[in-house]
């Protein structure tokens, strides 16, 4: 492989990208746009759940219970109703996701040391939000119950017993429990996978469609030199996109980067080689830009988004799906990014993921070279 030939092909591809505004926009603007859209729109935090209240008791005790929901950061009282029909209408119209129904004998039961049941109606159409909201509601009611029990003991002249077991939670790596702190690093992997494969999926196919592939075949440029030359410009663009994503994560989304910046870019470089080679292979096999771009999108975005552990925990997936995730390269890059970003760990912990990622890149580069034949057929 002669560097001069590689540079000649790379220079030609650089000029094409610079002269083609659409390719340049897709290479630079698309990752930024996707980061902004997904970074702000995609969140797993459940805060300020709209709550509708039907207080049939209308007493000091019932109002105190409602105030505990209102003062919680997890609920927002959207209004009050006085009949079941209005309550159903509010939930059906999604103006409220949770309804709190307090019966008429609530205050009397509390005062006479009886069990005071209340009803919580939750819109289960969004099962994830409903489950989290139920957990929040249980905490609010449990705290209220403990306060009532403590007041009774004090009035009786006794000492409030200390709970036999005290839990002091300590959250590591994401102390504020903000979803953006692990969504943004995983999002970088998904975006880089999609953009890298899309960029190179058009290169060789474009040469065939424009009739310039015959000219390249007639030159002394060898297959590996042609592939290397075409990969170099997009590798540079891809690393620039990684830099933009890291800067946006730091200064736009305030995501902490606790680990080594050099390790982050090193792993990104390895991942990009594999993703670009994958797109190149698709381009070589299909020889059609439209078909290549469609295949690249299907084989990169959906697996990277659904099966990489970016959005959904792999441990919660069915066993056959878990087995499939081992052939998804984004899985290893997501694990590397989260480890570097949130935990600040190095290769002593992430060596397994790094080796598998390097193996993917080497295999895809080898496949691309095997598939490219310098002949008209």
Where helices occur in the chain by DSSP H, the ranges are: 3-19, 21-41, 60-71, 84-92, 106-111, 127-155, 180-200, 203-210, 213-218, 223-251, 261-286, 289-306, 319-324, 329-338, 347-371
Rounded mean pLDDT of 222-228?
Answer: 81
Could you give phi then psi for residue 108, rounded to 5 degrees? Answer: -65, -40
Q: Is the pLDDT of residue 335 over 70?
A: yes
pLDDT band at residue 211 under the 50/70/90 scheme: low
Tell me: the pLDDT tens digits for 12-35?
A: 878 877 777 777 777 778 888 888
DSSP 3-state of 109: helix
What pLDDT, on the 0 to 100 scale, is given for residue 57?
92
Domain boundaries, the chain: 8-43+178-371, 49-155
Tell me: the pLDDT tens digits for 130-174?
A: 888 898 999 899 888 888 877 777 777 766 677 677 778 888 888
Q: Is the pLDDT of residue 44 over 60?
A: yes
Q: What is the pTM of this model?
A: 0.78
Q: Which of 204-208, 295-299, 357-361 has the lowest mean pLDDT?
A: 204-208
What pLDDT, on the 0 to 100 scale, is given for residue 215?
67
What pLDDT, on the 0 to 100 scale, is given for residue 374?
56
pLDDT band at residue 216 under the 50/70/90 scheme: low
- Measured between alpha carbons, how far is 223 from 228 in angstroms, rounded to an integer? 9
Residues across the chain = 377
What pLDDT, on the 0 to 100 scale, is given for residue 376?
46
Residue 262 CB burial class (10 angstroms; 0-12, 13-18, ≥19): exposed
Percent of the chain at pLDDT exceeding 70: 94
Q: The CATH number of 49-155 is which of 3.30.365.10, 3.40.50.300, 3.40.720.10, 3.40.1710.10?
A: 3.40.1710.10
Tell me: the pLDDT tens digits for 290-332?
A: 888 888 888 888 888 888 888 788 888 899 999 999 999 999 9
What pLDDT, on the 0 to 100 scale, is given for residue 75?
93
pLDDT band at residue 79 under the 50/70/90 scheme: very high
What pLDDT, on the 0 to 100 scale, is given for residue 297?
83
- Measured between alpha carbons, how far is 305 from 350 in angstroms, rounded to an integer? 21
Q: Buried b / exposed e across 44-64, counting CB within 10 Å, b at 16+?
A: eebeebbbbbbbebebebbbe
What mean pLDDT, rounded, does the chain reach?
85
What pLDDT, on the 0 to 100 scale, is given for residue 262?
94
Residue among 129, 138, 126, 127 at smallest CA distance from 100: 138
| Residue of higher predicted confidence among 11 and 176 | 11
- Measured between alpha carbons, how far is 15 from 138 in angstroms, rounded to an integer? 62
């Amino acid at each position: 492989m002669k560097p001069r030939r590689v540079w000649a092909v790379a220079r030609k591809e650089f000029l094409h990208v610079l002269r083609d505004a659409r390719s340049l926009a897709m290479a630079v603007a698309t990752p930024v746009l996707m980061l902004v859209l997904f970074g702000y729109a995609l969140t797993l935090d459940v805060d300020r759940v709209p709550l509708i209240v039907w207080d049939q008791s209308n007493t000091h005790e019932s109002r105190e219970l409602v105030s505990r929901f209102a003062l919680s950061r997890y609920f927002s009282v959207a209004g009050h109703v006085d009949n079941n029909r209005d309550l159903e209408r509010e939930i059906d119209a999604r103006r409220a996701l949770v309804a709190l129904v307090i019966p008429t004998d609530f205050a009397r039961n509390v005062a006479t040391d009886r069990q005071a049941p209340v009803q919580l109606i939750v819109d289960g159409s969004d099962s994830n939000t409903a489950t989290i909201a139920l957990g929040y509601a249980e905490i609010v009611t449990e705290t209220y119950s403990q306060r009532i029990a403590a007041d009774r003991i004090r009035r009786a002249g006794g000492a409030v017993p200390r709970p036999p077991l005290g839990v002091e939670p300590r959250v590591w790596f994401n102390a504020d429990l903000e979803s953006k702190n692990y969504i943004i690093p995983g999002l970088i992997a998904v975006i880089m996978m999609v953009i890298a494969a899309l960029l190179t999926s058009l290169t060789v196919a474009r040469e065939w469609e424009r009739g310039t592939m015959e000219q390249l075949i007639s030159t002394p440029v060898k297959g590996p030199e042609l592939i290397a030359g075409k990969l170099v410009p997009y590798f540079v663009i891809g690393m620039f996109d990684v830099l933009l994503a890291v800067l946006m994560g730091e200064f736009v989304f305030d995501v902490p980067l606790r680990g080594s910046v050099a390790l982050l870019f090193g792993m990104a470089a390895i991942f990009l080689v594999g993703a670009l080679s994958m797109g190149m292979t698709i381009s070589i096999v299909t020889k059609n830009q439209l078909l290549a771009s469609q295949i690249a999108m299907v084989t990169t975005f959906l697996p990277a988004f659904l099966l990489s552990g970016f959005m959904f925990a792999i441990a919660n997936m069915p066993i056959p799906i878990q087995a499939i995730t081992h052939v998804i390269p984004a899985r290893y890059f997501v694990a590397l990014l989260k480890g570097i970003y949130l935990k600040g760990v190095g290769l002593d912990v992430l060596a397994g993921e790094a080796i598998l990622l390097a193996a993917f890149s080497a295999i895809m580069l080898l496949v691309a070279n095997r598939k490219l034949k310098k002949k008209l057929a």
